[in-house]
């Protein structure tokens, strides 16, 4: 009887999952970035599903989640959140979680503990960008393989660097 109930529960979960399936993309570790085919980057208005290896997000204390097509776009917002007033952010203190995608593993990682490679031959949908990694060793290996110029920690990525990447200096 127990086996039959278990089998029925399993079958019903498959039926329920199939009839209510929504195509979502998840990048997980201790953090996650969940988005669908309609989710766009706040800064560049790109559809995220087209290149998920670059996706990033910031969760805001007001309950909103802001998505980005790359780390560069995330930092652009991070340093100048008032430019996108619709997000309702006044300062960095309004951020509850900042997440980027590890370029090697495609897992969501804490951006504040990530390492970012600047100046490599690899470009994102947003052009010249910062490539995110969970470990310094992975960032160094990538930098060596793709002619990276420098590796930054989160708090070392300044607005001037983002302006430089955007060709605004």
pLDDT of 46 reads 95
Q: Using one digit for the tens of pLDDT, what is the confidence trace for 10-53?
A: 444 433 344 344 444 444 446 899 999 999 999 999 999 999 99
pLDDT of 98 reads 97
Q: What is the mean pLDDT of residues 63-89?
A: 93
% pLDDT > 90, the chain: 70
Burial class, 75, CB count within 10 angstroms (exposed 0-12 / middle 13-18 / buried 19+) = buried
pLDDT band at 64 (very low <50, low <70, confident <90, very high): very high
β-bridge partners, 36: 24
Contact 149, 119 (CB under 8 A): yes
Q: How many CB atoms lie within 10 A of CB 82?
A: 10
When comparing pLDDT for 44 and 169, which is higher?
44
Global pTM value: 0.80
> Mapping DSSP to helix (H, G, I), strand (E, B) and coil, where does residue 104 land?
coil
Domain boundaries, the chain: 22-165
The conformation of residue 154, written as its DSSP 8-state character, comes to: G
Q: How many CB atoms lie within 10 A of CB 110?
A: 15
When comparing pLDDT for 87 and 100, which is higher?
100
């Amino acid at each position: 009887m127990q086996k039959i109930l278990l089998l029925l529960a399993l079958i019903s979960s498959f039926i329920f999952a199939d009839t209510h399936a929504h195509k979502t993309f998840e990048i997980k570790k201790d953090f996650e970035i969940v988005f669908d085919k309609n989710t766009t980057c706040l800064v560049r208005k790109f559809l995220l599903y087209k290149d998920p290896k670059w996706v990033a997000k910031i969760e805001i204390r007001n309950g909103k989640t802001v998505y980005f097509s790359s780390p560069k776009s995330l930092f652009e917002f991070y340093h100048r959140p008032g430019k996108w007033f619709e997000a309702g952010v006044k300062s960095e203190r309004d951020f509850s979680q900042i997440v980027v995608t590890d370029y090697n593993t495609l897992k969501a990682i804490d951006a504040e503990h990530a390492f970012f490679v600047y100046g490599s031959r690899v470009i994102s949908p947003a052009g010249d960008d910062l490539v995110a990694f969970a470990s310094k060793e992975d960032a160094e290996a990538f930098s060596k393989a793709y002619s990276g110029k420098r590796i930054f920690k989160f708090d070392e990525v300044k607005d001037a660097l983002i302006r430089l990447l955007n060709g605004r200096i």
